[in-house]
């Protein structure tokens, strides 16, 4: 499996990672533009995508025409006009909600796009020859073209490094100013259009034409232009369309029913009843919720290739996480000195320190630090005449030859083999114990004599245990993937509190594990960056590739993390859940609203026919006109009132499904029943105070 | 309301709920082919029909087989009804039915509706009662149960294409469940005094010296299956209010128990088949809750009596006894009304038309809610499962996962089909009622003016489309218009509903069944039961509120204001 891992990031940095430049939920220019867009979206052809709001618009047109006809023929038109006005407002508020959501996405997309402007590229005319090139506009590059990018230049489009090594500033997309290394071959060969080469040069083979780059696709999704409805949205739309038809039947047949023993209600009144009954609230906010979900993910520096992927993230049952760099800090550190029998601790510490003096690896540095902290040893300068013995794959040892002696440290077996000795039973036991605890034992020797062991430990990131516990409460199993042996893997798995682990994992193992879990009907998410992760990323239901990873990995996954931090998979799952919860909460709220609206409108409609039905006027609304108008106004205003919630998402706390359902049902179900009673009454009071009805 | 009244209600419901458990387990064993005590007979039937009972059918095959049986049943019954005048076992020499009435009646019995635009003792020969109506009482009930079992299997299995074999299910349900139960109940009813004879009607000499013709016939066993199979078509015109069809308190208890026991039991069967008894209990709790609430509402309204009568100085103690049998009183009439309309039985022991406006509204609303509380045998369960899918879909999102029921994801296809099914009732009920109310030829059939007239019309179409079959009364239904449109409503309510529902079963069967975890929505327990009840009320009931406001509610509040029509 891959050894390359991005720099570790403390788990507690979650909050800090959120984009500080995120626009306020609703700021001035954004709203102005959204208002214009909302008008543009009134185009019925475009509204056809949204059956509930489309129906509302058709009814609005009808009532408007009726009001006009009444006005022209000198009839009473004020009431009809009032209803028409608020029906239009309902449609407008719905399109406005979508426009605001798109606007926020667009603001982010524009900042991504900025700086890409008119990039000039150097198109290489012959492969392998960097001297022969001609200038070419980035927009004219085709897939497969080779371009040369030198220090200070923008990479014109997505591509794969075929030659060279350079540091690249990817701040334009990641917001991270520290440059990263990009080189041909291996797992760090992918480059993204719009990023800047800071030093050296690269030859890049273009893998995406202008407009079709990774970033372009993401921008399109966030802006809503190329947004496809997700499967759950499609299903919800069908439900809402079905409910619209049901209520259409109920209202249209009312003409016949009311004709028995009376005259049928006026069309504007029936229109008001219809629009307040059909689920305009969720219908108006549905696409805004979806766009806002994508946007939240983007703000979090994760790009999803589709809304479907975000939705799937909420469904994940199994989370595959690499051990190194994700669960643990990734570099092993000295945690204990264990002297062999008859050796003083001080002696061992000194020998370990000297053996590591020339060792520049993090492990070596950690031994020096440990010797200093625990044994108060000064770290000396390299003694004169000392010769550093570097680590080689053959000896698997390193050390230092000084006048005092030859110090060596290395894998226990390797050292025993080199010294031709066997370990005393105490040492052998210690070796096993360290392995069991997830550590790596290093043996230390002086002049061929085994002095003892240094226990290296992989440190689990702080806070991971709690997060895995939270995931477990959400019903998600975490699986640690590691190249370590079973013993080591088991120890770290226990310490980190994961549910399962795959030890000595090969890419095939991962693929097999994912398939097996999926075979049981579970949804699997994983993060990966290497080319050999690509099959597993593609197989997983949610595959989050690292921005630093290979092009193959990025194409295989359905999300890319611009920060290259695999722990973010956990938050991605939470964002997915939050999206679904928001949708469900507003659907429930919207449907529960209907009860109160009946109590407002029904007595008002039938009051002429059966004055006794006033008994159903539970809210004691002022007059039939104000009752109907209040219900319609409430129905329109509630959309605007809920826009912030739709954009921000319902607050999500990791909890089991039963607890979540109880809480949300209470807030949005019961709230949805009660809120309109209060709202309609309040509007009615205002209307009557103003003398409008 | 009296304590004794409530005790009678509680006893009946408790007996039904208690019997539902063993019966439900038994039905599950039948569904799994583990009940085989009539194996030679069963094998003989399969051989005669050339049926391989082990050959599974996809949902289409299953539905086609079901439609074939129902179509054949319809044609046979239609022929019998038309030709009964020329056929034997007709001691009164009753003539064949008119084409309209024969169509209506044949549709009615095949669809498990048992709407009766005729009066049994005056229109049906013994042969028709036995070979026609009783046979369909068994077959239509077995059809519903078979479909429900297939739906359960679809939920229980993961990734299968087949729902079982309709022929085998139909045979086993009839042979092992309906026939033995009907036999036992029939015998018990005979013991209670319900006639079971082929002799001619009896002629009695009255005290005044006049003569009275007392209708008899092979009633007891037909009454048994009409109650057990939620058919509801009475042997006699006034159904179980007739002193010979339902002579005493014991026969009333048995018959009311029989309405509820199989629909309740099938919930237990469902829990058993999907391997989680709690799932079935949640559905049963919702059904029981609605029956109880409905009974309480009717009982309260009827026990309170008619305000105009009370104002005139009538004794308030017996409550509103108009149209009720003195031997049953308001409590047992209320329970029966809620049970017969909650389940789509349609048999009556009191006249709903004579209930107070609110007391009459409750049975009407129970029908309109979709006949799932507990609904017809089988049809109640699969209707309830459709509501469960919708409840899971609407509120299930609130746990942050794509909604799933019993580990099966609920997606666009299921929702589309469920909404198609949900549309059937409002379209048929409200559409046909609205049209009929503006047709002078149709309104001529109404006995009452004002809101009560509207209620009568609304009830008729609700009863037909809901495959309930009870009549509110006050409507002369034996006209070409009503025979045809009510027949149409019955066909829509049965087949336009069940075809999409079985398509859902096919779609769900093919899906893998994901294991349950802490993150999955629990579909058992009080929370889900409450949610399901709310969804039934809102998705199943809200669309009917305006019609109820114009009918029973308008009548109720007018009555309170001392106004009559």
Q: Which residues of A touch B411 (CB under 8 A)?
A: 231-232, 235
The order of strands in the sheet holding A477-481 is: A302-304, A559-561, A542-546, A524-528, A318-322, A477-481, A500-502
Interchain CB distance below 8 Å, B398 and A656: no
- Contact criterion met (CB < 8 Å) for A657 and B563: no
A360 vs B40: CA distance, rounded Å: 86
Interface probe with B: pick from A260, A519, A541, A645, most Cβ of B within 10 Å: A260
Nearest Cβ partner of A246 from B422, B434, B451?
A: B422
Q: A249 at the B interface (CB within 8 A)?
A: yes
Answer left, alpha or beta for residue B351, where phi above 0 means left and psi between -120 and 50 means alpha. Answer: beta
Residues A191/A159, Cβ–Cβ less than 8 Å? yes
Taking an 8 Å cut-off on Cβ atoms, the answer to whether A521 and B390 are in contact is: no
| % chain B with pLDDT above 90 | 84
What is the pLDDT at residue B519? 79
pLDDT above 50 (res B206): yes
Whether A250 has its CB under 8 Å from any CB of chain B: the answer is yes
Q: Which of A109-118, B230-239, B350-359 has the lowest mean pLDDT?
A: A109-118
The partner residues of A150 in beta bridges, in order of sequence, read A201
Global pTM reads 0.85
Cα B208 to Cα A271, B204, B211, B243: the distances in Å are: 64, 11, 9, 21
Instruction: State whether B433 and A521 contact (CB < 8 Å).
Output: no
Binary contact (A580, B454; C-beta < 8 A): no
State the pairing for strand pair A120-124/A559-561: unpaired
Half-sphere exposure of A308 (CA within 13 A, CB side): 13
What residues contact A342, with CB distance under 8 A and at least 6 apart? none
Of all helices (H) and strands (E), which one includes residue A182? strand A180-183
Strands A559-561 and A542-546: parallel
Token pair for B433: 């009622």
Rounded to whole angstroms, how far apart are CA atoms A50 and A93? 14
Question: With contacts defined as CB-CB under 8 Å, which chain B residues touch A591?
Answer: 394, 538-539
Q: Do B454 and A581 touch (CB under 8 A)?
A: no
Indicate yes or no: CB of B550 within 8 angstroms of CB of A609: yes
Lowest mean pLDDT among A407-411, B5-9, B381-385, B430-434: A407-411
Cis amide linkage into residue A570, ω under 30° from 0: no
> What is the C-alpha to C-alpha distance for residues B62 and A594, in angstroms, rounded to an integer?
39
Closest residue, chain A, to B514 (C-alpha): A521
A239 and B415 in contact by Cβ < 8 A?
yes
> Smallest Cβ distance to A256: which of B435, B538, B560?
B435
Cβ pair B401:A591 closer than 8 A: no
CA distance A236 to chain B (A): 7
φ, ψ (nearest 5 deg) of residue A331:
-110, 135
The minimal CB distance from B451 to the residues A255, A261, A616 is found for A261
- In eight-state DSSP terms, residue A683 is H
Q: Which residues pair with A332 in a beta bridge?
A: A458
Cross-chain Cβ contact A578/B400 below 8 Å: yes
Which residue on chain A is closest to B523 by alpha carbon?
A: A658
Q: Does A247 touch chain B (CB under 8 A)?
A: yes
Write the DSSP symbol of residue A133. E
Contact at CB, B527 and A665, closer than 8 angstroms:
yes
Residue A202's DSSP bridge partners are: A149
The number of beta carbons lying within 10 Å of the beta carbon of residue B220 is: 25
Does the beta-carbon distance from B401 to A314 stay under 8 Å?
A: yes
Residue given tokens 């103690």 in the structure block: B317
- Residue A447 neighbours by CB distance under 10 Å: 12
With beta carbons under 8 A apart, name residues in chain B contacting A249.
Answer: 423, 426-427, 430-431, 543
pLDDT (tens digit per residue) in B256-315: 999 999 999 999 999 999 999 999 999 999 999 999 999 999 999 999 988 888 888 888
CA atoms within 13 A on the CB side of B166: 19
Lookup result for tokens 């309930």? B468
Nearest CA in chain B to A655: B519
Q: Does A664 touch chain B (CB under 8 A)?
A: yes
Of the partner residues A241, A585, A657, the one whose CB lies closest to the CB of residue B518: A657
Average of per-residue pLDDT values in chain B: 93
C-alpha dihedral sign at A219, A223, A225, A228 = positive
Which of A257, A605, A657 minimises the CB distance to B399? A657
Closest CB to B519 among A250, A476, A598: A476
Low-confidence ranges of chain A (pLDDT < 70): 1-26, 108-109, 111-118, 171-178, 187, 210-215, 217-227, 330-331, 438, 530, 548-549, 692-693
Between CA B471 and CA B353 the distance in angstroms is: 8
Measured between CA atoms, the residue of chain B closest to residue A663 is B398
Q: How far apart are CA A488 and CA A506, in angstroms?
A: 16
Which own/partner contact pairs does B531-534 have at CB distance under 8 Å and 24+ positions apart?
A: B531/A661, B531/A665, B531/A669, B531/B391, B531/B395, B532/B282, B532/B283, B532/B286, B532/B387, B532/B388, B532/B391, B533/B286, B533/B289, B533/B290, B534/A592, B534/A669, B534/B391
3-state secondary structure of A545: strand
Contact A235 B390 (CB under 8 A): no
Cβ separation B411–A235 shorter than 8 A: yes
Residue entry with tokens 């605007």:
A640
Here the tokens at position A326 are 């994700």
Instruction: Yes or no: say if B327 and B249 are a contact pair by the CB < 8 Å rule.
Output: yes
Give the CA angle between residues B448, B449, B455 to the nearest 5°: 70
Find residue A481's DSSP bridge partners.
Answer: A322, A502
Q: How far apart are CA A194 and CA A203, in angstroms?
A: 15
Does A590 touch chain B if contact means CB atoms closer than 8 Å?
A: no
How many Å apart are CA A216 and CA A209, to the nearest integer? 10
Distance from CA of B365 to the nearest CA of A (A): 15
Chain B neighbours among A 313-352 (CB < 8 Å)? 314-315, 317
Query: What whole-number distance in Å separates Cα of residue B368 and Cα of residue B376?
Result: 13
Q: What is the DSSP string of A438-464?
A: TEEEEEEEETTEEEEEEEEEEEEPTTH
A661 contact B CB<8A: yes
Please determine, for residue B495, whether its predicted confidence score (pLDDT) is greater than 80.
yes
**Distance in angstroms (rounded) separating the CA atoms of residues A306 and A261:** 56
What's the pLDDT at A1? 36
Helix pair B135-156, B379-396: axis angle to 10 deg: 30
C-alpha distances (whole Å) from B514 to each of A315, A370, A580, B501 are 11, 49, 19, 21
CB A68: neighbour CB atoms within 10 A? 14
Maximum distance among all alpha carbons in chain A? 117
How far CA B21 is from CA of A414, B18, B525, in Å, comes to 70, 6, 18
If you count residue pairs, one on A and one on B, with CB atoms under 8 Å apart, how many are there? 233
Q: Cα angle at A579 between B534 and A11, to 5 degrees?
A: 130
Distance, CA of A340 to CA of A321 (rounded, Å): 37
Q: Taking CB atoms and an 8 Å cutoff, what residues of chain B touch A475?
A: 517-520
CA angle A479-A538-A228, nearest 5°? 115
**Taking Cα atoms as reference points, which of A510, A508, A548 lies closest to residue A187?**
A548
Q: CB-based contact (8 Å) between A235 and chain B?
A: yes
A51 has a chain B CB within 8 A of its CB: no
**Dihedral class, residue A267 (left if φ above 0, else alpha if ψ from -120 to 50, else beta):** alpha
pLDDT at res. A173: 63
- Taking the Cβ of residue A134 and every Cβ of chain B, the question of whether any pair is shorter than 8 Å is answered with no
Nearest to A587 among B397, B420, B520 (CB): B397
Answer whether A589 touches B (CB < 8 Å). Answer: no
Dump the DSSP string for B496-548. Answer: IHHHHHHHHHHHHHHS--PPP-TTSPP-SHHHHHHHHHHHIIIIIIGGGHHHH
With beta carbons less than 8 A apart as the criterion, state whether B317 and B378 touch.
Answer: no
CA distance B114 to chain A (A): 26
List, by residue number, the catalytic residues of A. Answer: 322
pLDDT of B554: 93
Neighbours of B225 (CB within 10 A): 25
Q: How far apart are CA A128 and CA B124, in angstroms?
A: 99
Those of residues 461-490 in A touching chain B at CB distance below 8 A are 472-476
- B150, pLDDT greater than 90: yes
**CB within 8 Å of B20: residues ≥ 6 apart:** B260, B261, B264, B265, B267, B268, B284
Exposed/middle/buried for residue B312 (C-beta within 10 Å: 0-12, 13-18, 19+): exposed
* Shortest Cα–Cα distance, A516 to chain B (Å): 13
Supply the pLDDT for residue A535.
84
- Give the whole-angstrom CA distance, residue A378 versus residue A385: 19
Distance of CA B86 to the CA centre of its chain: 32
């Amino acid at each position: 499996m891959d050894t390359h891992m991005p720099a570790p990031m403390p788990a507690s940095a979650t909050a800090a990672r959120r984009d500080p430049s995120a626009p306020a939920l609703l700021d001035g220019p954004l709203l102005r533009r959204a208002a214009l867009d909302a008008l543009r979206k009134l185009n019925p052809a475009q509204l056809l995508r949204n059956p509930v709001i489309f129906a509302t618009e058709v009814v609005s047109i009808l009532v408007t025409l009726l009001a006009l006809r009444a006005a022209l023929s000198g009839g009473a038109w004020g009431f009809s006009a009032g209803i028409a006005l608020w029906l239009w407002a309902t449609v407008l508020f719905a399109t406005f909600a979508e426009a605001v959501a798109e606007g926020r996405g667009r603001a982010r997309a524009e900042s991504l796009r900025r700086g890409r402007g008119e990039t000039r590229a150097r198109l290489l005319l012959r492969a392998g020859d960097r001297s022969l090139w001609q200038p070419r506009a980035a927009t004219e590059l085709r897939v497969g073209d080779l371009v040369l990018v030198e220090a200070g230049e923008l990479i014109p489009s997505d591509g794969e490094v075929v030659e060279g090594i350079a540091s690249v500033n990817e701040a334009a997309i990641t917001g991270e100013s520290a440059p990263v290394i990009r080189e041909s071959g291996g797992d760090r060969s992918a480059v993204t259009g719009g990023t800047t080469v800071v030093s050296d040069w690269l030859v890049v083979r273009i893998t995406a034409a202008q407009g079709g780059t990774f970033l372009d696709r993401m921008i399109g999704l966030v802006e809503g232009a190329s947004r496809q409805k997700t499967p759950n949205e499609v299903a919800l739309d069908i439900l809402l369309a079905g409910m619209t038809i049901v209520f259409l039947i109920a209202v249209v047949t009312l003409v016949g029913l009311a004709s028995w023993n009376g005259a049928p209600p006026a069309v504007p009144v029936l229109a008001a009843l219809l629009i307040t009954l059909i689920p305009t609230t969720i219908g108006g906010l549905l696409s805004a919720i979806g766009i806002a979900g994508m946007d939240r993910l983007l703000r979090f520096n994760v790009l999803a290739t589709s809304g479907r992927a975000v939705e799937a993230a909420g469904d994940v049952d199994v989370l595959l996480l690499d051990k190194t760099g994700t669960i643990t800090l990734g570099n092993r550190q000295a945690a204990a000195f264990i002297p062999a029998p008859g050796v003083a601790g001080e002696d061992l510490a000194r020998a370990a320190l000297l053996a590591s003096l020339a060792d520049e690896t993090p492990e070596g540095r950690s031994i020096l630090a440990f010797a200093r902290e625990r044994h108060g040893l000064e770290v000396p300068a390299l003694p004169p005449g000392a010769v550093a013995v570097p680590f080689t794959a053959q000896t698997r040892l390193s050390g230092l030859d000084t006048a005092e002696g030859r110090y060596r440290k290395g894998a226990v077996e390797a050292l025993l083999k080199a010294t031709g000795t066997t370990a005393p039973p105490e040492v052998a036991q210690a070796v096993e114990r360290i392995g069991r605890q997830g550590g790596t034992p290093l043996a230390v020797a002086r002049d061929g004599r085994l002095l003892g062991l240094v226990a290296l430990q992989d440190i689990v990131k702080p806070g991971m245990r709690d997060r895995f516990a939270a995931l477990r409460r959400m019903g998600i199993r975490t699986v640690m993937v590691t190249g370590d042996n079973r013993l080591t893997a088991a120890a770290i798995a226990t310490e980190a509190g994961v549910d399962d682990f795959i030890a000595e994992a090969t890419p095939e193992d991962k693929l097999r594990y994912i398939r097996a879990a999926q075979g049981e009907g579970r949804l699997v998410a994983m993060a990966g960056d290497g080319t050999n992760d690509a099959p597993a990323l593609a197989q997983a239901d949610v595959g989050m590739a690292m921005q630093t990873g290979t092009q193959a990995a990025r194409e295989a996954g359905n999300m890319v993390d611009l920060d290259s931090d695999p722990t973010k998979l956990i938050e991605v799952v939470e964002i997915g859940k939050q999206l679904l919860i928001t949708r469900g909460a507003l659907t429930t709220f919207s449907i529960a609203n209907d009860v109160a609206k009946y109590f407002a409108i029904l007595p008002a409609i039938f009051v002429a026919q059966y004055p006794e039905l006033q008994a159903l006027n539970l809210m004691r609304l002022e007059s039939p006109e104000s009752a109907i108008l209040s219900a319609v106004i409430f129905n329109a205003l509630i959309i605007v009132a809920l826009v912030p919630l739709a954009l921000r998402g319902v607050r999500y706390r990791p909890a089991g499904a039963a607890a979540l359902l109880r809480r949300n049902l209470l807030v949005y179900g019961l709230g949805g029943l009660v809120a309109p009673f209060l709202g309609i009454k309040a509007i009615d009071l205002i209307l009557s105070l103003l003398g409008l009805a | 309301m009296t304590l004794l009244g409530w005790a009678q209600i509680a006893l009946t419901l408790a007996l039904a709920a208690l019997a539902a458990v063993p019966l439900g387990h038994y039905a599950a064993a039948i569904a799994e082919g583990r009940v085989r005590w009539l194996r030679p007979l069963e094998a003989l039937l399969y051989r005669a029909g050339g049926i391989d009972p082990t050959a599974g059918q996809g949902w289409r095959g299953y539905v086609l087989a079901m439609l074939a049986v129902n179509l054949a049943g319809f044609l046979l019954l239609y022929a019998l009804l038309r030709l009964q005048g020329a056929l034997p076992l007709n001691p009164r020499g009753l003539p064949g039915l008119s084409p309209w009435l024969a169509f209506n009646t044949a549709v009615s019995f095949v669809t498990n509706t048992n709407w009766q635009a005729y009066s049994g003792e005056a229109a049906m020969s013994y042969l028709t009662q036995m070979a026609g109506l009783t046979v369909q009482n068994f077959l239509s009930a077995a059809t519903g149960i078979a479909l429900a079992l297939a739906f359960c299997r679809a939920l229980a299995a993961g990734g299968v294409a087949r729902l079982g074999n309709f022929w085998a299910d139909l045979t086993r349900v009839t042979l092992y469940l309906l026939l033995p139960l009907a036999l036992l109940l029939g015998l018990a009813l005979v013991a209670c005094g319900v006639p079971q004879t082929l002799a001619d009607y009896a002629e009695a000499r009255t005290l005044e010296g006049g003569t009275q013709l007392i209708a008899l016939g092979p009633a007891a066993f037909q009454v048994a299956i009409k109650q057990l199979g939620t058919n509801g078509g009475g042997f006699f015109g006034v159904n179980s209010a007739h002193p010979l069809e339902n002579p005493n308190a014991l026969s009333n208890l048995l018959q009311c128990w029989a309405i509820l026991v199989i629909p309740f039991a099938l919930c237990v069967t469902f829990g058993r088949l999907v391997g989680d008894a709690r799932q079935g209990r949640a559905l049963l709790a919702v059904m029981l809750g609605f029956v109880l609430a409905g009974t309480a509402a009717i009982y309260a309204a009827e026990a309170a009596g008619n305000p105009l009568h009370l104002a005139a100085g009538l004794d308030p103690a017996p409550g509103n006894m108009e149209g009720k049998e003195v031997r049953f009183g308001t409590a047992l009439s209320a329970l029966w009304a809620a049970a017969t309309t909650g389940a789509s039985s349609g048999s009556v022991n009191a006249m709903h038309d004579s209930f107070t406006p609110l007391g009459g509204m409750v049975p009407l609303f129970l029908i309109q809610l979709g006949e799932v509380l507990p609904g017809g045998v089988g049809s109640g369960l699969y209707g309830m499962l459709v509501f469960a899918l919708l409840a899971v879909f609407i509120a299930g999102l609130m746990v942050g996962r794509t909604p799933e029921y019993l580990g099966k994801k609920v997606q666009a296809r299921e929702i589309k089909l469920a909404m198609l099914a949900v549309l059937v009732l409002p379209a048929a009920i409200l559409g046909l009622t609205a049209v009929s109310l503006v047709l002078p030829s149709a309104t001529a059939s109404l006995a009452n003016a004002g809101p009560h007239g509207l209620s009568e019309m609304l009830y008729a179409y609700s009863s037909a489309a809901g495959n309930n079959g009870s009549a509110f009364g006050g409507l002369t239904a034996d006209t070409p218009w009503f025979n045809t449109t009510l027949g149409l409503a019955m066909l829509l309510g049965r087949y336009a509903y069940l075809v999409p529902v079985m398509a859902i079963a096919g779609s769900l069967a093919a899906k893998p069944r994901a294991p349950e975890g802490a993150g999955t929505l629990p579909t058992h327990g009080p929370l889900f039961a409450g949610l399901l009840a709310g969804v039934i009320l809102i998705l199943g009931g809200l669309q009917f509120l305006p019609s109820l406001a114009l009918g029973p509610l308008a009548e109720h509040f007018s009555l309170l204001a001392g106004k009559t029509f």
